Amino acid sequence: MAREPREGGGGNRPREREKERDRETGDELTDKLVTINRVAKVVKGGRRFAFAALVVVGDQKGRVGYGAGKAREVPEAIRKATERAKKTMIRVPMKEGRTLHHDAIGHYGAGEVVIRAAPAGTGIIAGGPLRAVFETLGIGDVVAKSLGSRNPHNMVKAAFAALTTVTSPRAVATRRGKKVAEIFGNQPKKEAPVVEAPTDV
C-alpha cells in the first residue's frame, strides 16, 4: 500500500535551510533579474514553452555571483537561477569601498567588456546587464563599456572574467613578499633642475 504524502512534502526545506544559513552569516543578499527569455521546444503535439532566467546576486559589500535557470514557470526559473548564483559567488577587492583598484578587460565568447575605475562622484556608467552586476556588487563609481556581443549572458560572463582579474595592492605585496609602499614605489620626488638665466657679457 503506497504511503500518502505528508502535507507540505518537505519541498521547501532546502530553501529554508538556505535562508537560515544566510541569516547566520549575516549577509543580506540582493538579487537582480537581468533578463528572462521564453524558449520553445517543438514536440509531436505542438510546442512546449519554458522560460530561461539570468539572475545576479550580491551582498553589496564585494561579493557577487550569477546564475541561469530554466523552468516551465517564470518564478521557478528565477528561483533556480538565484540558487545557482549563490553557489558561484566571487569576492572582488574594492578601493575605498566604492570602486576598483585598477582597470580590467574581460572576454567570454564574442563578448568583450572594459571596466575602468572612476573618481568619487562618477556613479555607475554602464549598460543594463553590467549595471546589475555593479549594483549587486556594491560598487558606486565605475565606468564600463561592452565592445562585443550584446547578448546579456555573454556580457555578464565577460564582466565576471574581468572582475576575477582585479587584485588589491595588499594582495600583490603579499604575493611578492614586499610592503605596499614598495609596490607603489613611493620615492622622494626629484627636484627640478635649476636653470640659470643667461648673463649679458
- Across the range 71-87, mean pLDDT stands at 94
pLDDT at 128: 86
Q: Is residue 85 part of a domain?
A: yes
pLDDT digits (tens, 9 = 90+) for 95-121: 888 889 889 999 999 999 999 999 988
Domain for residue 55, yes or no? Answer: yes
Is residue 51 in a domain? Answer: yes
Query: What's the angle, vertex CA 175, arms to CA 169 and CA 178, rounded to 5?
Result: 70
Query: Domain residues for 72?
Result: 27-180
3-state secondary structure of 86: helix
* Alpha carbon separation from 122 to 92, 105, 139, 140 (Å, rounded): 19, 20, 11, 8
Number of domains in the chain: 1
Is residue 33, in this structure, part of any structural domain at all? Answer: yes
What's the pLDDT score for residue 178?
A: 80
- Is 11 part of a structural domain of the chain? no
pLDDT tens readout for residues 132-151: 999 999 998 999 999 989 99
Domain of residue 43, CATH code: 3.30.160.20
Nearest Cα to 99, choosing from 83, 123, 79? Answer: 123
Report the percent of the chain where pLDDT is more than 90.
56
The confidence score (pLDDT) of residue 132 equals: 92
* pLDDT at residue 152 greater than cutoff 60: yes
pLDDT of residue 182: 74
188 within a domain of the structure (yes/no): no
| % of the chain residues with pLDDT over 70 | 77
Residue 128 lies in a domain: yes
pTM of the model: 0.75
Does any domain span residue 106? yes
Rounded Cα distance, 177 and 167, in Å:
15
